[in-house]
Chains A and B, each alone.
Chain A
């Protein structure tokens, strides 16, 4: 009797995991398995469904100040560098041209692969972002718009599902943090860099990364440092429970 129930249980489990996969597919939580860097950022990937960073998705970033905006730009690039293919063109659509191409190389993205698009109206920016996300030959799209309504985010999400590109929406100074259909919501805050005692100067870029919302995953907060082409976790102490992360958000 006993071995039979065990087999039964295993069978049930396999059915449940199969159904979970189908549900995930319906909810557009698709992602391509990636070989590289899996070890390095496992702490981050544990937050996502199937423990894989979703590449066919829209990621939302929120910033309010100049320095947080700069940190957010850099963090987006380091994510793209870690998880996405780098040898293809990508679009950076924004309402101003504050990004300095010369500095992008240190985050592992070749600046001449980026097509900088500066538009004057947020409406045009959204149109351009959607058009770009529909194009499967684009590696990723960074769009800087202050406001994003639920419907607009849904449109972007649909565009991404058909083309398998990745969208990063960077909202600078949004009026309200409304609910959107993006897969994740991030908040990046620069924190004082770390230097060995007695050393002068400024250290490596260091950020408090707050993944405050993630669909079907668990949010978290980490301190990270960008050192020589890769993201590094500083300490795991901050990896608090999802409820606490929501509170911080």
Chain B
């Protein structure tokens, strides 16, 4: 597929922005100026001032002499970059690949996009209307190369649409400055009377290189499509992305659901061909007022089941605020993973079970947050550290679960202090008080000494005892430290079955 590139030229970017914010400036001639070598130099001119003969680069004092009623505003540093970036992000509704073209343009790689708007003509028209409605003076052109589109948008006289492969015809009558050359090269060409590309393009390449340098040839080749010019998009493109523009702004939940279903189907079809499944997906709604509404889902196992993914999104649709309407839906999958062919669907096999369980867990985590955990044994003696959360469903324990030591089925997250009566040091207590109740110890087992891991944490060792009271309740107690120095503290840590 041939590339199609649009170049957008916002000639009065900064002054248009001022007029947008302060509408009374629309009727006044004004310039934006900044100090340069001790003088105020014009950085941007609005159309009214320009028609009076004021240009960028003039000194403000000279301008005032020409036009005494001229308003002078202070230039804002970095304004055009900021504006261009914001506009570029806004333009993502037209194509995912949008680049900033400083100081006053945008470049859009629209390959494969215009047909969604019904062709290139309506597409360009839509872009122009939108920008004009914002209050910007805009010129656009579409061509196979960024260079040709740039040239035609700035200097073209005939048509903004350069048909595929016709860059040369479009460029011939244009001035050399339209090739994005350095000012010195341009002035050299003009000095020699080469006012049109037509007049030097047929010259031998070696002669051109000798006189004007390699840059002229590079620019020419770029404009004609003989050399590749890469553009750097403002937003890195998600490789798995589907978009759906709507003819009329959509405001109802049903409308959003229909759009979402269609996008999920498209994305899942594509993923099925490539043998992948979604782990994370974002659904973005671009509103007509420029706001972007977004909902996100995650799955515990790569999935490409349309039904399942829609089910995960469904409860979140209510969070989307359509306001005046949504004009573009976008579904992207930032994280995808490989999944095998589902050949086992015929039989009720363990893998089918796993998919069903993963979908169940997705539903629960989708509604309640990250609440489902699977635990694996960790090689630590400290009970708190002896388990770790598994990262996935497939992860298997690296060591087996130990059963040789007594461990309580219920373990308190934080050991609770108890008062004990101990007959002899280093022996289990004969009774203990916990929560205001007194428990008499009838049977006891232990101690099991667990040392604090010095490379992880400082602390005293624990001597664990299993004890049973007269009613049959079984508890896990420990003494922190020894009786050598001070009275050690006792804690209740768990309940045995």
Tell me the A residues contacting B by CB distance below 8 Å.
Answer: 65-67, 69-71, 73-75, 87-89, 91, 97-107, 110-112, 114-119, 124, 127-128, 131-132, 135-138, 189-193, 195, 200-203, 205-207, 226
Contact = CB atoms under 8 A, between A and B. Distances in A.
Contacts of B350: 87-88
Given A66-B410, A117-B371, A191-B472, A100 B383 contact: yes
Interface in B393-451: 396-397, 401-403, 406-413, 442-445
A102 B386 contact: yes
Nearest to B364: A128
Contact of A99 (B371, B376, B410): B410
A206 B474 CA distance: 10
A195 B374 CA distance: 36
A74 B409 contact: yes
Contact of B377 (A88, A102, A119): A102
B496 interface: yes
Contacts of B468: 192-193, 202
Contacts, number: 167
- Residue among B350, B353, B383, B402 with the most chain A CB within 10 A? B353
Contacts of B374: 112, 114-116
Given A100-B411, A137-B352, A205-B497, A192 B357 contact: no
Given A74-B497, A202-B468, A104 B409 contact: yes
A66 B364 contact: no
Interface in B459-476: 466-468, 470-475
Best-buried of A101, A107, A110 by chain B (most CB within 10 Å):
A101
A70 B353 contact: no
A133 B185 CA distance: 77
B318 interface: no
Nearest to A110: B401
- The residue in B387, B413, B443 that gathers the most chain A C-beta atoms within 10 A of its C-beta is B443
A135 B443 contact: no
Contact of B368 (A128, A193, A195, A203): A128
Given A89-B353, A103-B408, A119-B371, A192 B470 contact: yes
A70 B497 contact: yes
Contacts of B353: 88-89, 137
B430 to A, nearest CB: 14
B409 A137 contact: no
B363 interface: yes
Contacts of B413: 97-98
23 contacts: A66-B495, A70-B409, A99-B410, A100-B407, A100-B410, A100-B494, A102-B402, A103-B411, A105-B402, A117-B373, A135-B356, A136-B356, A137-B352, A137-B357, A192-B442, A192-B472, A193-B468, A202-B466, A202-B467, A202-B468, A202-B496, A205-B496, A226-B497
Contacts of B406: 202
Nearest to A87: B350
A77 to B, nearest CB: 8
Q: Is the interface of B mostly helix, strand, loop or mixed?
A: mixed
Contacts of A190: 471-474, 497
Contact of B443 (A73, A75, A193): A193
Nearest to B467: A202
B30 to A, nearest CB: 59
Interface string B328-352: 0000000000000000000000101
B375 interface: yes
A99 B353 CA distance: 25
A114 B375 CA distance: 8
Contacts of B408: 70, 100, 103
A174 to B, nearest CB: 18
A71 B497 contact: yes
B232 interface: no
Contacts of A136: 356
A74 B360 CA distance: 25
Contact of A115 (B372, B412, B443, B495): B372
Contacts of A97: 413
A98 B371 CA distance: 14
A202 B409 contact: no
A195 B396 CA distance: 37
Contact of A202 (B372, B375, B445, B470): B445
Contacts of A191: 471-472
B73 interface: no
Given A70-B495, A138-B360, A192-B468, A102 B474 contact: no
Given A70-B409, A201-B445, 19 more contacts: A70-B496, A71-B497, A98-B411, A100-B383, A100-B409, A103-B407, A106-B403, A111-B387, A114-B375, A115-B357, A118-B371, A131-B360, A137-B360, A189-B472, A190-B497, A192-B471, A193-B443, A202-B466, A202-B474
A193 B376 CA distance: 30
A195 B397 CA distance: 35
Contacts of A70: 408-410, 474, 495-497
Nearest to B446: A201
Contact of A67 (B361, B377, B386, B473): B473
- A132, A202, A226 — most chain B CB neighbours (10 Å): A202
Nearest to A100: B411
A65 B434 CA distance: 13
A110 B390 CA distance: 14
Contacts of B403: 105-106
Contacts of A88: 350, 353
